[in-house]
Amino acid sequence: MRTAERDKMVEDIRAARPAGLARAISLIEDEAEGAGGLLEALHPHTGGAHVVGITGPPGSGKSTLTDRIVKHLRARGSTVGVIAVDPTSPFSGGALLGDRTRMADLATDKGVFIRSMGTRGSLGGLSRAVYGTIKVLEATEKDYVIVETVGVGQSEVDIARVADTVVVVFVPGLGDDVQAIKAGITEIGDLLVVNKADLPGASRIESTLESTLNLAPPRVEPAPKILTTSAERDEGVVDLIDMIVEHLALAKTTGLLACRRRMRAKAEITAILTRDIAKRTEISLSEPGADWYERLQDGRTTPGALAATIWRKLVIEEYEGVEDENSREASPGDRRGEHRRSHEDLL
């Protein structure tokens, strides 16, 4: 991607132009050429949003709750970005019809941007796309970025890595005990919401959560808070928002926020490296005529020696010309992007 093209994209994002935003997010999702450079260019404009993760079992009312939260936040004059992640969907780019329809009345509001995302490839790919999309939305100066993920195993943990505040949604009637304890969910949540409080069984799950928390080993972070909502009836939602705001304020003073942000940055750096190493390994080992397996078989090389060769190639071809932080100049250029292009020319 040329510098002028990238600058235009950054400008579109900064001005929150929906078409520009959608294009930038697609670029990031596809890990297309120029995506790395764009993220580098956006980096100085990030960090200003309160990132809220909302996770919980399928059908627990996360989207309904998010919709309500967005409306209340808009009424308060705040701007909001929403990333709805559906790990079961192979589609992306807003293909989740249910979420779209539900939030249709928000679609014309310029202070809101909603994006649905499927996983496509690996879970690692998903979190990379989510980090990138959060950055894009932060660069539009959204006050809040809400990341909604279905709680199926790893995604709950992943969300904890990206969010400043994690809301875990529970519902009556889904096998209360299993639900509460599963995946140590009470360990990752800052706020535990029992939604569908209009249905029978809500108070039972509330007390199950309380006793689970009482039995849980003490943690460094403040103990999660429990509250009930009925997203459908818009009950308890304002209290939830107040608690989300309160959580951030407390996290700022206690250093928890810095800790979460540090974790997010660390995961992002790891994701960049993991992707590049995997890519370089794939390229090296599938080169036409590559005889590494034969050499391995007859003892001329070892897996460790092959790994070292791949590592050197990575450093020379992928990162050559990318300044490390010691020699980096003040202006963040598109060296990564430029480099990627020359790297691709080599292939």
Ligand X SMILES: Nc1nc2c(ncn2[C@@H]2O[C@H](COP(=O)(O)OP(=O)(O)OP(=O)(O)O)[C@@H](O)[C@H]2O)c(=O)[nH]1
Distance in Å, CB of 165 to Mg ion, minimum? 18
Of 25, 42, 53, 63, the residue at the interface with ligand X (CB under 6 A) is 63
Distance in Å, CB of 345 to Mg ion, minimum? 43
Distance in Å, CB of 212 to Mg ion, minimum? 24
Minimum CB distance to ligand X smaller for 38 or for 185: 185
Minimum CB distance to ligand X smaller for 198 or for 221: 198
Q: Which residues, including other chains, have CB under 8 Å from residue 177's CB and lie 6 or more apart?
A: 208
Distance in Å, CB of 239 to ligand X, minimum? 14
Starting at the earlier edge strand, list the strands of the sheet with 80-86: 112-118, 80-86, 144-150, 50-56, 165-170, 191-194, 225-228
What backbone torsions phi and psi does residue 321 show, to the nearest 5 degrees?
90, -15
Pairing of strands 144-150, 50-56: parallel
Under the binding rule (CB under 6 A), the answer on residue 196 touching ligand X is yes
The three state secondary structure string of 205-261 is HHHHHHHHHHHCCCCCCCCCEEEECECCCCECHHHHHHHHHHHHHHHHHHCHHHHHH
Kindly identify the residues of this chain, within the stretch 35-64, that bind Mg ion according to CB under 5 A: 62-63
Minimum CB distance to ligand X smaller for 1 or for 150: 150
The label of the residue with tokens 């932080």 reads 325
What is the C-alpha separation between 51 and 342, in angstroms, rounded? 35
Q: Which amino acid is at 301?
A: T
Minimum CB distance to ligand X smaller for 199 or for 315: 199
48 touches 56 (CB < 8 A): no
Of 50, 62, 247, 264, the residue at the interface with ligand X (CB under 6 A) is 62
Minimum CB distance to ligand X smaller for 187 or for 232: 232
Under the binding rule (CB under 6 A), the answer on residue 232 touching ligand X is yes
Under the binding rule (CB under 6 A), the answer on residue 234 touching ligand X is no
The label of the residue with tokens 């808070």 reads 225
Under the binding rule (CB under 5 A), the answer on residue 208 touching Mg ion is no
| Chain centre distance of CA 164 | 11
Identify what 195 binds: ligand X, Mg ion, none; CB under 5 to 8 Å per kind.
ligand X
What is the C-alpha separation between 199 and 221, in angstroms, rounded? 32
Minimum CB distance to Mg ion smaller for 64 or for 208: 64
Distance in Å, CB of 178 to ligand X, minimum? 17
Give the range of 224-232, 251-259, 272-280, 330-338 binding ligand X by CB under 6 A: 224-232
Of 143, 198, 221, 338, the residue at the interface with ligand X (CB under 6 A) is 198
14 touches 307 (CB < 8 A): no
Identify what 212 binds: ligand X, Mg ion, none; CB under 5 to 8 Å per kind.
none
Distance in Å, CB of 207 to ligand X, minimum? 19
b/e 28-56 (16+ beta carbons within 10 angstroms → b): bbebeebbbbbbbbbeebeeebbbbbbbb
Identify what 232 binds: ligand X, Mg ion, none; CB under 5 to 8 Å per kind.
ligand X
* Burial class of residue 110 in the structure, from the number of CB atoms within 10 Å of its CB (0-12 exposed, 13-18 middle, 19+ buried): exposed
Under the binding rule (CB under 6 A), the answer on residue 64 touching ligand X is yes
Of 116, 186, 195, 284, the residue at the interface with ligand X (CB under 6 A) is 195
54 touches 86 (CB < 8 A): no
Under the binding rule (CB under 6 A), the answer on residue 185 touching ligand X is no
Distance in Å, CB of 237 to Mg ion, minimum? 16
Minimum CB distance to ligand X smaller for 93 or for 332: 93
Hey, is 275 helix, strand or coil? helix
Identify what 199 binds: ligand X, Mg ion, none; CB under 5 to 8 Å per kind.
ligand X
Q: Which residues bind ligand X (CB under 6 A)?
A: 56, 58-64, 150, 195-196, 198-199, 230-232
Q: Which residues bind Mg ion (CB under 5 A)?
A: 62-63
